[in-house]
Structure 1
């Protein structure tokens, strides 16, 4: 059984409407040889399969608020400052274009604990994004240049005791 595909072809007959003579169009079956029958469906399947690739962040990450301030974590010997939401929660996102004390905390960690030569100005610019991507690759985290909970949990953060730097730490307990 053969499936027929229709193509729009014009005939030589002219018809008239209120704007003047118009060529009459009618549908005629065309051959399905050479894969022409599947051409339209292949495009549609390719388009449908490509839609998920357009999404960078996972659905859970997309719902997270921006990091607008910092929170501290204390392990008994030192205090670590990490990016946080306005409520003091560390589950937040930062990307190029953000400006906050959370960005400053991340930049300080990138400089002090991960050896990146960037400014600690609180502005998430191209240099900060590049440094973050390099650290994400080294930590085997999605290297998209966006700071989120997965990146934050893998990064090391500068620890201070009585205002003196005592080394880099990974944080687990956050206090607003």
Structure 2
């Protein structure tokens, strides 16, 4: 019984030590993108006289400062995939599913734009990636918010 008690104490100490180390790491880790407001589960039209572009956005408030990553689905992914295909020549399906091919295409586009190439769609991607432009009812190429 004494050996069993000693093992339990050692496991408890090791568990406490691991929890404190991991807890400290989690507590001190900064938010990856504090300005990002929510998941890109929709899209929003940004317009000006005579033209517009459709960008990934949050459905609840239309903010384009949103995030997507591997496994995301929906209208925001559709807009991203369409833009990666049209503006960057990506050979991907526009299927509303952020999978391996979408991530690879996003990394290529991020690299081309000189931003963090991590395969995660966030504030940098929203601001710097190109989106399909429609001017006077015609597809007129691609442009960014910059």
Same fold by TM-score greater than 0.5: yes
Matches for 1:9-88 after TM superposition, within 5 Å: 19=1, 51=25, 58=32, 60=34, 64-86=37-59, 87-88=61-62
Structure holding more strand per residue: 1
CA distance in 2 between counterparts of 1:57 and 1:134 reads 24
Deviations along 1:151-173, whole A, 9 cap, x unmatched?
A: 1111111111354311111126x
Q: Give RMSD over aligned pairs.
A: 2.9
Aligned residues: 128
Please tell me whether residue 100 in structure 1 is matched to residue 74 in structure 2: yes
Structure holding more helix per residue: 2
Shift of 1:142: 1.3
Tell me the TM-score normalized by structure 1.
Answer: 0.63
Deviations along 1:28-50, whole A, 9 cap, x unmatched?
A: xxxxxxxxxxxxxxxxxxx79xx
Give the structure 2 partner of residue 8 of structure 1: none
CA distance in 2 between counterparts of 1:79 and 1:91 reads 18
CA distance in 2 between counterparts of 1:59 and 1:163 reads 35
The structure with the largest alpha-carbon Rg is: 1
Please tell me whether residue 167 in structure 1 is matched to residue 141 in structure 2: yes
Tell me the TM-score normalized by structure 2.
Answer: 0.74
Please tell me whether residue 144 in structure 1 is matched to residue 144 in structure 2: no
| Structure 1 stretches lacking a partner, 5+ long | 1-18, 23-46
Deviations along 1:61-120, whole A, 9 cap, x unmatched?
A: 5x6310010101123232100000121111100001011111111111101111111111
Give the structure 1 partner of residue 7 of structure 2: none
**Alignment match of 1:133 (pick from 103, 107, 112):** 107
CA distance in 2 between counterparts of 1:102 and 1:156 reads 15
Spell out structure 1 runs of 4+ moving beyond 2 A.
161-164
CA distance in 2 between counterparts of 1:90 and 1:106 reads 12
CA distance in 2 between counterparts of 1:137 and 1:56 reads 24
Which has the higher relative contact order, 1 or 2, with Cα contacts under 8 A spaced 6 or more apart? 2
